[in-house]
Amino acid sequence: MPPPTRPRKSPRLAKCTSSGKVWPDPPAWQVTISSLSNKKNQLRSTLRQLLRNGPLDSGPVCEAARCWLAARPALRTVALYAALADEVDLLPLMAWDPGRRWVFPRICGEDLVFHELRDVAGDLARGACGIREPSPTLPSVPIPAIDAFLCPGMAFDPNGGRLGRGLGYYDRALASARPDAVKVGICHPIQRVADTFREAHDVAMDVVIAG
């Protein structure tokens, strides 16, 4: 008869340096993920189910992002995104702060191209992967001209690690950003995890806003 296995202990997490709050212990479902090669995909799958079950409220996260931006008026050109159903909707930021230049990504082959957006209702249409994107006829903005990137993701960890959807669009775009451009992860509170299993090509966030 094999000896009984010892239960695993959930690791304690360091404090989040941006807010001073203790990052929550990982939930039990994350601790059970053990296969090295499948960690990211298992984490994505679990989070999709959790997000599908909801409820999700973008309001508190959007307000936190508004306050964060309001304290940084020097960030004039800011990259937003048109949210999918399980992402935080940040479109109200445009109405709250019309003085900034807001740019949105459009999928072009394997890359993201950013365009300045002025009219949310008229300038966004369904594009690749069913994602709402700006028209290619709108003014394009070079990635090095962008001061801050507000990035969605499937999960974020206390070290700034970001887990995307697995296609690498944001990692490739952020690799071309200016060194002083601020990379901001945006997520629902349930998407904060202990570890996103970051690899060399995964670009880390400078800040994570989760409400």
pTM: 0.81
Where are the chain's structural domains? 28-209
Distance CA 145, CA 5 (A): 55
Q: What is the pLDDT of residues 17-56, one digit of tens each?
A: 344 455 666 665 555 554 644 789 999 999 999 999 988 9
Q: What is the mean pLDDT of residues 115-128?
A: 84
Instruction: Report CA 201 to chain centroid distance, whole Å.
Output: 16
Give one DSSP letter per residue of 147-160, joined into a string: SEEEE--SEE-TTS
**For domain 28-209, is the CATH number 1.20.120.530?**
no
Report the C-alpha gap between 6 and 8 in whole angstroms. Answer: 6
Residue type, 122: G
Q: What is the pLDDT of residue 37?
A: 44
- If one compares 4 and 181, the residue with the highest pLDDT of the two is 181
Percent of the chain with pLDDT over 90: 70
Task: Quote the Cα angle for 189-12-15, to 5°.
Answer: 60
What three-state secondary structure class fits 30? helix
pLDDT at 11: 38
Q: What are the pLDDT digits (tens) for 152-197?
A: 999 999 999 999 998 889 999 999 999 999 999 999 999 999 999 9
State the average pLDDT for the chain.
86
Cα 8 to Cα 5, 34, 197: the distances in Å are 9, 11, 19
